[in-house]
Amino acid sequence: MSLDSLAWLAVIPALGLLILVHELGHFLVALKMGIKVEEFGIGYPPRMLTLFERNGVKYTLNWLPLGGFVRMTGEEGNFAAEGSLAAAPPWKRIAVISAGVIMNMLTAMVLFAIIFAVWGKAEPVENQVVISAVQDAAETAGIEPGDRIVSMNDQPINSVEDVRPIVQNSIDKEITIVVEREGVLQTFKVKPQPLSTEPGGPPRLGIHYGPGVKVEHVNPLVAIWEGILESFRVLGRMVVGFGALLGGLFGLTQVPEGGIAGPVGIARITGEAARSGLRVYLSLTALLSVNLALINILPIPALDGSRIVFALIEWVRKGRRIAPEKEAFIHAIGMLVLLGLILLVTISDIGNAISGQPALP
């Protein structure tokens, strides 16, 4: 078994870190707000061992390396207990619940800052398309990452939008690709392969590509500021993409390319990033951190956003809250629905993997 085939395991430290810092945010703010914390666990149960106990909090190490968790009094029962989360004033609950989202945004800022400080800040270059990764037919032909695509079938390539129509119209036909490598033009002939055995299926050329970039090296202070800005730029793009996805479901807009990825899809994408190098891997981890923050703040039952909505309702109603038992029931139903959706997406991800479709569009 090659190391490349195990690249998908890179998703474990990436998601593990993001989930752990998310839960760490809940934990630290809960302690600050006087909420009783019963356990802070690294990994998920079953429990491996209790590391130590301090001020009534058990710090545990668990067998499943999937981040961590914090268990507070009054989350799932015993709602009226002293120091419980459910009995806390709305503003305290909002602070504790939103801390996880804030920690994920801060993590993205730190990762982007590290990337900019170590590798520099990349700015897109107009009229250039550069190959970032190769596989399958393109790799066999000799095309390499870093090659700039000059033309395909004698058609000039000036943007990423120029590539796809040529590939889609060339199934079972060779494509003549001219690339520039270290200032020298080289020509390759590549025959796209179908993604599946079904006739007429979309072809796969075996290249990942994007706009050309120029790298500007910046000092650490600029890197920190750019890391903050980049995190909010990514968040804005994700909000727009999420809106387009919702619009596509109702036929109002075109569905964004790539769709939704579940655990299997995320693992495949992370594996592709890990194979492309540490910078790409850290960039994807930062993107996942922003994505985790955005998903969690949505007002969907079982997610942090929904819990904040319930606290806001109580705040607006001046202390008259929805019964904690009813709120817990709504969150439980929401969790079942989310797990069902995750199952459906996972089945789709597995089907894509079996049929050979690329992890990245």
Burial 264-276 (b: 16+ CB within 10 A, else e): bbbbbbbbbbbbb
Q: What pLDDT sits at residue 62?
A: 95
- Asked if 153 and 199 sit in the same domain, the reply is yes
- Asked if 226 and 292 sit in the same domain, the reply is yes
Q: What pLDDT sits at residue 3?
A: 47
Q: Which residue has the tokens 């600050």?
A: 32
Who contacts 330 (Cβ-Cβ below 8 Å, separation ≥6)? 301, 306
Q: What pLDDT sits at residue 258?
A: 59
Is 32 part of a structural domain of the chain? no
Domain with 170 in it? 123-216
Q: Which SS3 state, helix, strand or coil, does residue 193 take?
A: strand
Tell me how many helices (H) and strands (E) the chain has: 9, 10
Is 264 part of a structural domain of the chain? yes
**Is residue 123 a contact partner of residue 291, using CB atoms and an 8 Å limit?**
no
* Rounded Cα distance, 58 and 149, in Å: 57
Return the bridge partners of 176, or none: 189
Element (H, E) at 352: helix 324-355
- Asked if 265 and 299 sit in the same domain, the reply is yes
- Asked if 130 and 224 sit in the same domain, the reply is no
Question: Which pTM value belongs to this model?
Answer: 0.80
Residues of the chain whose pLDDT is less than 70? 1-6, 171, 194-203, 248-259, 355-361
Q: What pLDDT sits at residue 159?
A: 85
**Is residue 179 a contact partner of residue 143, using CB atoms and an 8 Å limit?**
yes
Q: Which SS3 state, helix, strand or coil, does residue 129 take?
A: strand
Cα separations in angstroms, 245 against 239, 242, 254:
10, 5, 8
Is 50 part of a structural domain of the chain? no
Nearest in space to 340 (alpha carbons), one of 289, 306, 301: 301
Q: Would the CA dihedral through 244, 336, 308, 312 be positive or negative?
A: positive
Q: What pLDDT sits at residue 259?
A: 62
Q: What pLDDT sits at residue 341?
A: 84
Is 197 part of a structural domain of the chain? yes
Give first-to-last CA distance, the chain, whole Å: 26
State both tokens at 218: 């910046």
Q: Would the CA dihedral through 110, 111, 113, 114 be positive or negative?
A: positive
Q: What pLDDT sits at residue 197?
A: 52
Q: What pLDDT sits at residue 63?
A: 94
- Asked if 232 and 361 sit in the same domain, the reply is yes
| Angle (CA) 28 287 39, round 5° | 25
Residue 23 is among the residues annotated as catalytic for this protein: yes
- Asked if 111 and 135 sit in the same domain, the reply is no
Q: What pLDDT sits at residue 127?
A: 82
Query: 32-78, pLDDT tens digit by residue?
Result: 999 999 999 999 999 999 999 999 999 999 999 888 999 998 777 77
**Is residue 191 a contact partner of residue 200, using CB atoms and an 8 Å limit?**
no
* Rounded Cα distance, 121 and 36, in Å: 43
User: How many separate domains does the chain show?
Assistant: 2
User: What single-letter amino acid sits at 93?
Assistant: R
Residue that finishes a domain, picked among 216, 241, 268: 216
- Asked if 325 and 261 sit in the same domain, the reply is yes
Long-range contacts of 251-254 (CB under 8 A, 24+ apart): none
Cα separations in angstroms, 205 against 105, 169, 185, 208, 271:
36, 12, 20, 9, 19
Is 85 part of a structural domain of the chain? no
* Rounded Cα distance, 18 and 20, in Å: 5
Q: State the CATH number of the domain containing residue 190.
A: 2.30.42.10
Choice among 23, 39, 230, 272 that is catalytic: 23
Is 47 part of a structural domain of the chain? no
Count Cβ atoms within 10 A of the Cβ of residue 291 and give its class: 0-12 exposed, 13-18 middle, 19 or more buried: buried
